[in-house]
Amino acid sequence: KQEVTQIPAALSVPEGENLVLNCSFTDSAIYNLQWFRQDPGKGLTSLLLIQSSQREQTSGRLNASLDKSSGRSTLYIAASQPGDSATYLCAVRPGNQFYFGTGTSLTVIP
């Protein structure tokens, strides 16, 4: 069964800093990887989807990379803002189901 791990579990940074969140998965046979954001008590908001044939995707201040062979993805957030404070989850899709990572709780301090 696919195991997905995210490091670090929690991260606190001052506003304006660039940061990297990590996601690793055990089985490289995936169709895509999706990064989500979740605010406390809310649903998940999709941030970026990387297809298995792609190396990276960008949306605004966010950049996600995928190295399928090594089972790793990173989410880069540039010039962090207090509004970026949330839990970030990655999920991999080997079939018609998605396996979620353990999440990184991000706090951006004004």
Binding residues for other proteins, rule: CB under 8 A, are: 31-32, 34, 36, 41-46, 49, 51-53, 89, 91, 93, 95-98, 100-103, 105
Q: Are 65 and 8 in contact (CB under 8 A)?
A: no
Q: Are 98 and 1 in contact (CB under 8 A)?
A: no
Task: State the minimum distance, in angstroms, from the CB of residue 79 to other proteins.
Answer: 25
Task: State the minimum distance, in angstroms, from the CB of residue 6 to other proteins.
Answer: 9
3-state secondary structure 68-89: CCCCEEEEEECCCCHHHCEEEE
Task: State the minimum distance, in angstroms, from the CB of residue 97 to other proteins.
Answer: 6
